[in-house]
Structure 1
């Protein structure tokens, strides 16, 4: 299990994807539940997280954990923006057995997500025209503006306006075992990483990192990481849900997607920085079903949820 949340250099922020099942035995088409998970009951506004605030370490540029930083993550304008506009993009019919295929599939998603997120980002007052760069690579180590990343399942760095890194080799390997699962996994990973880009453009990503660095205990820092990662999965699933009619997210692909989101997250013995599979499924389902509400991103306010929802 990788330590998937990393400190960064030069004030940049980098975050890796939540662990999927690439390193484990992939499910067969028959080994997954067919039913759609029920819509979750979202936390009530009064259910607030532990608000422990501390002075940052000596030598840190932060002098206080300003209330404005907490306001950015908890009361961001993003949460009151209109629903995501469906991109109406169709899934690319391409094999993921080659790097070129992975690149083609990822590029389509990347383009579609940029278009779909424009409306809510503009309404939030964010730089909605800033499109992250896409890097589909074949290495086990990649050099980013946020540092060297080792064998990750996916990575986002805020440097140069944002870059999404896609490890082609992992999806090529998974494709040979279960193509439908691999399609669901690459779709979810791209959506999750684009969720981090949304966080970056709205100020949530940097504010959350500031909060994490300022907390005095490792438990509090890990909880902050989980809030950030679970929100990225929720935002990613919100895009998938908004566009489900056109992709389409149905049949075997939806079955595998439901299996995937229910088994991703912190595994026993690993670092608890991305959230339990149960909570990952909860927030992903909240985002996916948010297409029925006016404000999709409002369903993804993990920073205003009690600790139990982000364990």
Structure 2
């Protein structure tokens, strides 16, 4: 893993999918659902969540759909593996000293993510390929143009397994000292890395190409909410370690998902927090089977998004 090899982005509408996912450029899922991008829109990141405790469904309230729209084999194999993350001890660098410090912080947390997820990949017989993080303010990535800062703060590119997290974007949105926001974003994007390694990423793209716009958006939300649930699984695996102090650690990072936006693409703030909590309290990757969840647990246009902070 090269800690300096870091970038984030999302394919634009002018970057069509290749004929094969095994082409020279890996597939980006359709831009309409903002796949693989943590759409922490600036107006939504700096919000005061008005979600009351117990306002959303709990993990036990999430019930399977009668006719789930799921990628056929990869998502099912991942769910049925019952694999558990390893408990990891993380003591990352202090990110509060600017871009270089953030790069070191991400490098350390990536190491924790790799160690936590390795038992899952081993159980599935999947080759482990480390992800890298790019904090540079790049304009292009291996997956296409980086979207504007007001559209995305983070993005995973499956072409080179790079998580793009331009430091200036997140620091401007939440400040350079908000560790939970940095941690939640990285853990979510790493969730897309797990989806890519296990085949869910490709199968979700195939599913989207076979359905209409409304169903495409639903597949996208299931895809994004699973990545958020995966983030929750990791935050639980690291909760009793040196990953931040109690006021900045994993528990607070779970709550950070309540500030996420992107209703149509990511499910909205309530469901983001719901699925992060589901992962945080789950026993295995089976807890994150968003593909079999009922439509009410996936959301859509009727879901509430994050709102600007009150004056």
Q: Same fold (TM over 0.5)?
A: yes
Correspondence for 1:300: 288
Displacement of 1:16: 3.6
Q: Deviations over 1:119-174 (max 9, x none)?
A: 1111012112x1123222124x2x222211213311111113x1111111023324
Displacement of 1:219: 0.7
Change (3 A) 1:120 1:25: closer
Aligned length: 272
Change (3 A) 1:146 1:5: closer
Correspondence for 2:154: 154
| 1:101-250 → structure 2 map (5 Å cutoff) | 101-128=101-128, 130-139=129-138, 141=139, 143-151=140-148, 152-160=152-160, 162-174=161-173, 176=175, 179=177, 182-215=178-211, 217-248=212-243
Change (3 A) 1:116 1:213: same
Correspondence for 2:66: 48
Q: Deviations over 1:216-260 (max 9, x none)?
A: x21100000000000001001110111110044663225643442
Find the residue that maps to 2:134 and give its secondary structure.
Answer: strand
Q: Deviations over 1:57-91 (max 9, x none)?
A: xxxxxxxxxx9x42333x12354233210221123
Change (3 A) 1:246 1:104: same
Instruction: Give the unaligned 5+ runs of structure 1.
Output: 52-66
Change (3 A) 1:19 1:244: same
Find the residue that maps to 2:165 and give its secondary structure.
Answer: strand
Distance 1:49 1:4 in 2: 30
* TM-score normalised by length of structure 2: 0.77
Pairwise CA RMSD: 3.0
Change (3 A) 1:102 1:48: farther
Distance 2:286 2:244 in 1: 22
Correspondence for 1:89: 90
Distance 1:94 1:279 in 2: 28
| 1:270-285 → structure 2 map (5 Å cutoff) | 272-285=264-277
Find the residue that maps to 1:101 and give its secondary structure.
Answer: helix
Displacement of 1:281: 1.1
Find the residue that maps to 2:107 and give its secondary structure.
Answer: helix
| 1:60-99 → structure 2 map (5 Å cutoff) | 69-73=71-75, 75-96=76-97, 98-99=98-99
Change (3 A) 1:48 1:277: farther
Which consecutive aligned stretches of 4+ in structure 1 deviate over 4 angstroms post-superposition? 3-8, 31-39
